[in-house]
Amino acid sequence: MTLEVRTVPADTPEVDALLDAYLDEREATFPSAQGSYARKRTPAAEFAPPRGTFVVASEDGRAVGCGGLRRIPDDGDDVRFEVKHVFVTPDGRGRGVATAVMDALEAGGAALGATAIVLDTNDSLVAAGAMYRSRGYERVPAFNENPNATAWYRKPVR
C-alpha cells in the first residue's frame, strides 16, 4: 500500500464523507457520563490558506484519513494554529496514517508562520492522546470551550 497525504480544499465531497464518518463515530462512541456529543464541523473557509490547511491521506487512491489546521487568536507571543478533525477510517488504522496527517499539518503550520500548534481532544480517545504526547504535545489549560473536549495540548513549532 502506498500512502499519500495531499492538501485539499475542505469543501469537497471527499472531505464531507470523511468528516461525516468522523462525526458519526465520535457521536456513537462518546462517553455517556459526559453527556451528549456536540456535533460540530469547523467551517471549510477556516482551513483555507493563509488561515489554515486541510489534508487527506489516501492509500492506493482510497481516502483513509484527514485533518485540518486553522489559525486561532494569538496567546501572548504565540502565533497559534489549531489541529481539528484528525480522523482515520477503521480500515486505515494502525498503519501510520494519523502520523502522516499530523506530519503534514505541523509542516503546514510552520509554513504558515505558527509558533505553536494546539489541539483539544477527549481523554476517552486513549490512542490519540498517546500519539499527541509522543509527538511532543504537552497538556495545557483549556484554551477554548469545546464541550466535547477534556484535554488540551500545545506543541511549540521549532
Helices (H), the chain: 13-29, 97-111, 126-134
3-116, CATH topology level: Aminopeptidase (3.40.630)
110 touches 157 (CB < 8 A): yes
> Residue 158 pLDDT more than 90?
no
- Three-point CA angle 28, 103, 99, nearest 5°: 45
CA distance linking residue 115 with residue 57, whole number of Å: 25
Q: Of residues 1 and 95, which shows the higher confidence score?
A: 95
> Residue 22 pLDDT more than 80?
yes
pTM of the model: 0.95
Q: How far is CA 59 from the centre of its chain?
A: 19
- pLDDT the model gives residue 63: 97
> Residue 1 pLDDT more than 90?
no
> Residue 10 pLDDT more than 90?
yes
